[in-house]
A and B are shown apart, each in its own frame.
Chain A
Amino acid sequence: DAKTTQPNSMESNEEEPVHLPCNHSTISGTDYIHWYRQLPSQGPEYVIHGLTSNVNNRMASLAIAEDRKSSTLILHRATLRDAAVYYCILRVGPSGYSTLTFGKGTMLLVSP
């Protein structure tokens, strides 16, 4: 499986935008980029995913580099509730079995 590299931790202030980077230089053409987050004392939750084009949903935006070797999860206005560990995961698609393998992720700290 192609691997991802994320910073161990990042800090932000409340109501400021946050850009969480992820490097995946060995990504293959059919790998989707998924983001999950895990709030303290909770199970992981899906945030967003994409293949080539930038994606937006109610939680966040995903910006994917043109060569797909990196991506950035964007939280437009961080809140205290966004403090969590964010995982960038590559998943094969569209056919065949694809396990969800978690790395160490990025711990996001949000200050008031």
Chain B
Amino acid sequence: EAQVTQNPRYLITVTGKKLTVTCSQNMNHEYMSWYRQDPGLGLRQIYYSMNVEVTDKGDVPEGYKVSRKEKRNFPLILESPSPNQTSLYFCASSLSSRAQAFFGQGTRLTVV
């Protein structure tokens, strides 16, 4: 089954403790991206990747890092999480930046 898989689905952590949210897709898609969703602000793009080793900032990249060493994986790294990064995070993939996007089930992160 074609899918985008995020882990973990839920995470509670403390301020400053580095964490990684993993994202994996099995559709051989070149384009992957990360979004965060907050009440009243909607979905905003954090980072995107056009292909392996090619990443770029989205609209709200501050406090986040990404890497794309393999085509199928696009982890989101929070080196020093802060409470304002408490949010619902979605990973997405598509054949290209203009193609139909497939989204993961989301990761609900709480930073205390």
Residues of A at under 8 Å CB distance from B? 32, 36, 41-46, 49, 91-94, 97-105
List the B side residues contacting A100 at CB < 8 Å. Answer: 33, 45, 92, 101
* A to B contact number (C-beta, < 8 Å): 47
Q: B106 an interface residue at 8 Å Cβ cutoff?
A: yes
The reply to whether B106 and A42 form a contact with Cβ atoms under 8 Å apart is: yes
Q: Are B42 and A42 in contact (CB under 8 A)?
A: no
Q: How large is the interface on B (under 10, 10 to 19, 20 to 34, 35 or more residues)?
A: 20 to 34
Chain B residues with CB under 8 Å of A41's CB are: 106
Q: Is the CB of A42 within 8 A of B105?
A: yes
CA–CA, A91 to B100, complex, Å? 11
Do B100 and A46 touch (CB < 8 A)? yes
Interchain CB contact under 8 A, A102 and B103: no
Flag if A98 contacts B98 (CB, 8 Å): yes
Task: Give chain A's interface secondary structure class.
Answer: loop
Chain A residues positioned under 8 Å from B74 (CB to CB): none
Contact A43 B103 (CB under 8 A): yes
Q: List residues of chain B with CB within 8 A of the CB of A99.
A: 45, 48, 58, 97
6 residue pairs bridging A and B, Cβ less than 8 Å apart: A43-B104, A44-B90, A44-B103, A98-B97, A102-B42, A105-B42
**Quick one: which of A32, A46, A104 contacts B42, CB cutoff 8 A?**
A104
